[in-house]
Structure 1
């Protein structure tokens, strides 16, 4: 069963500040200290996550899958999956990425998609899709979700709960833009390579 938005906000408050009192200070906030301690504990699980990513590579042979767990930057382990696509440097090319995140704050996960349009190497447009995956990516998203559920026993965070605004400062996100999604998974869902 998915915890309520109120329960998840209570968890998030342990790790993210409700103000910017420590933003320009040398010493860490109590939330920072708890977050760093939790990551120090969770780092022991990195080899297991690496094995999980290798399993996904085998389950998705028409894609490239990579570990995306940038340490303290995100409160989650992440995997990014790139469907193989042909490239034409003369026309705009749409490239999709499917990202899966396993929160370290609660037994929850999410899968979202990022669409980028390039002309050659120049990024022309980028858009994040937090809701259901586009039809052509649904099998990939479902495979990631099934594997996270099977390997970690995590539950998908429903979109309506993920989009709950929270009065917290999460990395560069600040109220009123901050959502539970940012506090539990990543403050920059489109910032994946």
Structure 2
């Protein structure tokens, strides 16, 4: 069972500063130190993440699977790209699975990009259901996260809850639970 919205709000307040409490760039805030400690702990034992990635690689052999983890974010992200031969000039849907290090939750969303000269351009985040050709990878990412980590999906309404915190380049009133639990730059892909 996923934590309540109130529980998630209380959690992220321990890991991000409010706009009125920003510290100088030279000193790390107590909130940032706590978030960094979560990342350090995760980096010291990446075995579950490696198991998750290996399972996805085996289950989705024709897809390119990448990852990104920035210690400015609330957790790592796994990216499932469509097979290169399937790239279209417009509307390529990339699956992104986000695992939070701050709470036992995850989200799977999409990034829609144009395929220009063999490269993905103009990324736009999508929380809509994936198109048929990416539905199986999206379900596989969600199922594998639940199996390996035991985490619960966060409902979209909860993800959109505003928080009075600064997450990377996001400042109130534009910061949401999504930005603090997962990433402040959801359209940015490696």
TM > 0.5: yes
**C-alpha separation between the residues in 1 aligned to 2:121 and 2:38?**
38
- Quote the residue 1:34 is aligned against: 34
**C-alpha separation between the residues in 1 aligned to 2:95 and 2:122?**
16
1:123/1:51 Cα in 2 relative to 1: closer, same or farther (>3 Å)?
closer
* RMSD of equivalent CA atoms: 2.0
**C-alpha separation between the residues in 1 aligned to 2:95 and 2:106?**
13
In the alignment, structure 1 residue 134 sits paired with structure 2 residue 105: no
Out of 70, 89, 97, the position equivalent to 1:92 is 89
Q: Which whole-Å deviations, capped at 9, do the CAs of 1:73-132 have from their partners, x for residues lacking one?
A: 3211221111104278xx834433111011000100111111111332676532111233
- Quote the residue 1:80 is aligned against: 79
> Runs of 4 or more off by more than 4 Å in structure 1?
121-124
- Quote the residue 2:168 is aligned against: 171
The aligned length equals: 190
1:87/1:146 Cα in 2 relative to 1: closer, same or farther (>3 Å)?
closer
- Quote the residue 1:192 is aligned against: 189
TM-score, scaled to structure 2: 0.90
Question: Which 5+ residue runs of structure 1 have no aligned equivalent?
Answer: none
Q: Secondary structure at the match of 2:79?
A: strand
**C-alpha separation between the residues in 1 aligned to 2:81 and 2:99?**
18
Return the structure number with greater relative CO, CA threshold 8 A, min gap 6. Answer: 2
